[in-house]
Amino acid sequence: MSELVLSKRFNTPDSHLLSTYEADGGYQAARKALDMTPEEVVEEVKKANLRGRGGAGFPAGIKWSFMPKDDGKPHFLCVNADEGEPGTFKDRSLMRFDPHQLLEGIIIGCHAIRAEYSYIYVRGEMWDEKEILWNAIRELRAKNYLGKGIFGTKNNLHIAVCTGAGAYVCGEETAMINSIEGKRGEPRLKPPFPAQVGAFGMPTTVNNVETISNIPHILKNGGEWFASLGVEKDGGTRMYGVSGPVKNPGLFERPQGYNLKKLIFEDAGGMLDGRELKAVIPGGSSCPVLKADEIDIPHNYDSLRDAGSMAGSAGVIVLPEDACAVKAMANLAQFYAHESCGQCTPCREGTHWLNLLIQRIEAGQGKMEDIDQLLQTCKNMMGSTICPLSDAAAMPMEAFVRKFRDEFEEHVRLGRCPRDGRL
């Protein structure tokens, strides 16, 4: 089996405690980083080829280098723990089983971007995880690892847990910033980008929980080591989540670029109850679906882009042959219609129209023109809105219609769902 980095301590008893973490060498990387200049830390992270694990895959070191220097303003590191993309369940475990790994990453990241404040924005429903993080923060405050002059340096650092309150769109970074400020979680127009005008009007970096959890390992073992774990331009491992009717669903930490077919058929044990594989959504619900014969590929950003999809959050959703493709997409269309914040007309109207049309087709009341209406609506929703939620709703729909058009047409022809809405 390959090397475990992020989930190494998941099965250690009391893995959430500071004493456990320090006994395993915890906070040594932070001490090392605080002795380095911020620029040196950023360079190490650049060498690691660490790409953001929140979905877009932006190189973390480059993002950090956008933060201004000597501007005299307070800086913020906001950690995205909103985890709401259907199919994604990795950040929950990273916070639950190794909160100190994340907190050490924050301490290092804040040094690199010269931030004195960090907020971890945890989705509202994760009550246990919020409490675990608060407890871990209290442990650090008691040892002066947080507060004024941390680890005997001149750095000050305040970390607090912020809570979401039930809005998927708050995972989008500028919506999250609004929510952290106590406002409605509506995305902001960019530019200005958060590195210029972010939380409370100050320079801000937003990173995902998994991205930041990797940082202590990069500082400890070096950027080159981290880069060598993955594939070209994509360093490290990934917390792959597999859900759907497989024998052994769950989280698997594997190297970046791990074969998607192998992940499903070996690591996740293959299909349950002798069912056949129909399709795979490779990185959370917003990623275009792949058919069963398209999954013998490495799972990483560039390879999935070449396959016409995205690596996204690495939440792999497996669909069985006997499930109705229209019903599956209709389930997700309802999600997006519910979650659009409504600021942009193409998204507000588009998500509702897509949902209405596809529910109608699934119910056997659709017309052939409705299928092309779906595609036309998708086109109108893409590339013209404040945030990418609109695209995130349109892309999977477009792919489902294109790849399973025969099933859509069959619904219209028969006037019912040929699989009785089975999923």
Partner 1 sequence: MALEFSAESEKRINEALDEYYNTQAALIPVLYIAQDEFGPVTPEVMDLVAKRLELPRMFVEAVASFYTMYLKKPFGRHHIQVCRTLSCHMAGAQNIVAHIKKKLELEAGGVTPDGKFSLEEVECLAMCGSAPAMIINKTNYENLTIEKVDEILDNLD
Ligand X SMILES: Cc1cc2nc3c(=O)[nH]c(=O)nc-3n(C[C@H](O)[C@H](O)[C@H](O)COP(=O)(O)O)c2cc1C
Q: Rounded to the nearest whole angstrom, what is the least distance from the CB of residue 184 to partner 1 in the complex? A: 4
- What is the C-alpha to C-alpha distance for residues 361 and 409, in angstroms, rounded to an integer? 9
**187, 174 contact by CB (below 8 A):** yes
Q: Does 312 bind ligand X (CB under 6 A)?
A: no
Q: With both helix axes pointing from N to C terminus, report the angle between 325-339 and 389-403 in degrees, rounded to the nearest 10.
A: 170
Nearer to partner 1 by Cβ, of 35 and 71: the residue is 71
d(CA 48, CA 219): 10
- List residues binding partner 1 (CB under 8 A): 83-89, 91-92, 117, 123-128, 160, 162-168, 179-186, 199-200, 241-245, 249-251, 285, 315, 317, 319-320, 323, 328, 331-332, 334-335, 338-339, 423
Judged by CB, which is closer to ligand SF4: 265, or 335?
A: 335
Told to check if 84 binds ligand X by CB under 6 A, we report yes
Taking the complex as a whole, the smallest distance from the CB of residue 327 to partner 1 amounts, in Å, to 8
Strand order in the sheet with 117-122: 158-163, 117-122, 76-81, 204-208
Burial label, 189 (beta-carbon count in 10 A; 0-12, 13-18, 19+)? exposed
* Single residue of 27, 34, 45, 82 touching ligand X by CB under 6 A: 82
What is the smallest separation between the CB atom of 260 and partner 1, expressed in angstroms? 16
Q: Which is nearer to ligand X, 58 or 127 (CB)?
A: 58
Q: Is 61 in the site for ligand X (CB under 6 A)?
A: no
Q: Which partner, partner 1, ligand X, ligand SF4, none, binds residue 340 by CB below 5 to 8 Å per kind?
A: ligand SF4
Q: Give me the residues that bind ligand SF4 (CB under 6 A), please.
A: 169, 187, 340-344, 347-348, 385-387, 389-390
Which CB atom, from 333 or from 389, has the smaller least distance to ligand SF4?
Answer: 389
Measured distance CA(171)–CA(389) in Å, rounded = 10
The Cα 298–Cα 301 span in angstroms is: 9
- Which of the choices partner 1, ligand SF4, ligand X, none does residue 320 contact, using the CB cut-off of 5 to 8 A by kind? partner 1
Do strands 315-320 and 277-281 pair parallel, antiparallel, or not at all (unpaired)?
A: antiparallel
Contact 272, 245 (CB under 8 A): yes
Smaller CB separation from partner 1, 48 or 159? 159
Phi, psi of 49 (to 5 degrees): 55, 40
CA-to-CA distance for 188 and 24, rounded, in angstroms? 42
| Secondary structure element (H or E) that encloses residue 42, with its range | helix 38-47
Q: Which is nearer to ligand X, 323 or 389 (CB)?
A: 389
Give the binding site for ligand X (CB under 6 A): 52-56, 58, 80, 82-85, 169, 171-173, 206-208, 211, 387-389, 392
